[in-house]
Amino acid sequence: MSKLRGRTALVTGASKGIGAGVAKELAANGAAVVVNYATDQAGAEQVVQEITAAGGRAVAVPADVSNAEDVARLFERVKSTFGPLDILVNCAGVYQAMPIVELTPEEFHREFQVNLLGPMLVIRESLDHFGSNGGSIINIGSGASRSHPPGYSIYAASKAGLDAVTVVLAKELAPRNLRVNSVNPGATLSEGTKAAGLYGVGSDLEKQLVAMTPLGRMGTPADIAKVVAFLASDDSMWLTGEVIFATGGLR
């Protein structure tokens, strides 16, 4: 497939999980991909290796998306390596189950800085790097912004804020020929969710979620990546300001 051939994509938080799946899917469709990571250099380099082994182009670049100076350096690397940007995917995110009685300001600020401030800083910096033809900005939100799971008030609030930012910026950036959409995954099996012990294979929670999902299974990074690739391509030229819940029908 080559519907993204000749285009450059930046995927934040792409060293594992959904971000890694998105980076590999965009590369498989012909895009040159900047694989951003915060701390997992080995994971990011593994993603790059898989892309290049399949004949694609990719480079791993470190940056903390909640740090404006890091973000500026990230885009300088994008420019020097692949030129103007065409596709931006904001996938970097953090979460922690925390009942309200255990709320700490530190955790609140950590999640909002990465999940909400981060994408806004990245989008702001990206405006000087898109080409004259504009491009596509895709935020990775969460089904939690609608399902509101107990124990995730901070996370759900940060992702609901990202939904709002998506719609606002779709209007604000349309004159620049920039489309802004969000893909909000549901329960998805990835390295991150496995490490957090959220959806143990065969666990009661996994069985419950599968039973509640009309399509009858857990999501995978590949499921989300294909939706992102659609939004990155010309096939979605008439879509902006959309918040797409890629949840297998889970409400």
152 part of the active site? no
Coil, helix or strand for 74?
helix
Three-class secondary structure of residue 138 per DSSP: strand
Six-digit token string for 169: 């910026």
CA torsion sign, 125 to 128 to 131 to 132?
A: positive
Task: Determine which helix (DSSP H) or strand (DSSP E) holds 49, and give its type and residue range.
Answer: helix 41-53
Three-point CA angle 119, 90, 214, nearest 5°: 120
> If you ran DSSP here, which 8-state letter would residue 38 be given?
S
Rounded to whole angstroms, the Cα distance separating 121 from 114 reads 10
Q: Which residues of 55-81 are buried (b: 16+ CB within 10 A; e: fewer)?
A: ebbbbbbbbbbbbeebbeebbebbeee
Pick the closest to residue 218 from 229, 207, 230, 204 (CA basis).
Answer: 207
- Identified catalytic residue from 37, 95, 155, 199: 155
Smallest CA-to-CA distance from 191 within 222, 225, 221 is with: 221
User: From edge to edge, which strands make up the β-sheet containing 32-37?
Assistant: 58-62, 32-37, 8-11, 87-90, 135-140, 178-185, 243-246
Residues belonging to the active site? 155
